[in-house]
Amino acid sequence: MFIKQISVFLENKVGVLREVSELLGRANIDMMALAVADTQSFGIVRIIVKDHEIDPALDILRANGYIAKVNNVICAEVQDKPMGLASLLAIIEEAGLSVEYMYSFLRGSTGGRARMILRLSDGQKGLKVFDLHGIRVLEQAEIDAL
């Protein structure tokens, strides 16, 4: 149960992130979650939008000269309390997996749960491990309903 994420490669200069935000906003595309990672010369912005907004977002970004692609990621729930994330990370580590990147997803009522967007070294294995440990993973339809 992967969800889709847009990754946009940006030149590391003033105003570029604002421009991306404005381009999507003018098209009425709602960025539900966003993470920024940068190096000295470029950055990667990772964005979660509803499924029906992915293709329009890609079209807009590419038409404006940005390199953008879609990746499959996992949205897993953990207990929203101390050690909640540590427990999830322990399960990942015990399975011999590594976290390539992770960021939080805060939208809608979570009922004492935190939602984390994860890219693992082996996503398929991660999904199986999460299922074995009763870790709830959200589907794209659930993201779209938020």
Q: What is the distance between the alpha carbons of residues 99 and 80, in angstroms, rounded to a whole number?
A: 19
Of the candidates 95, 75, 74, 91, the residue with the CA atom closest to the CA atom of residue 83: 91
pLDDT digits (tens, 9 = 90+) for 4-49: 999 999 998 899 999 999 999 999 999 999 999 987 788 999 999 9
- What is the β-pairing status of strands 67-79 and 3-11? antiparallel
Same fold yes or no, 3-71 and 72-145 = yes
Backbone angles phi, psi at 40, to 5 degrees: -65, -30
pLDDT digits (tens, 9 = 90+) for 63-82: 999 999 999 999 999 999 99
Q: Does domain 72-145 have CATH number 3.40.50.720?
A: no
Q: What is the pTM of this model?
A: 0.92
Q: Where are the domains of the chain?
A: 3-71, 72-145
Right CATH number for 3-71 from 3.40.1160.10, 3.40.50.720, 3.30.70.141, 3.30.2130.10? 3.30.2130.10
Side-chain half-sphere of 72: how many Cα atoms within 13 Å? 9
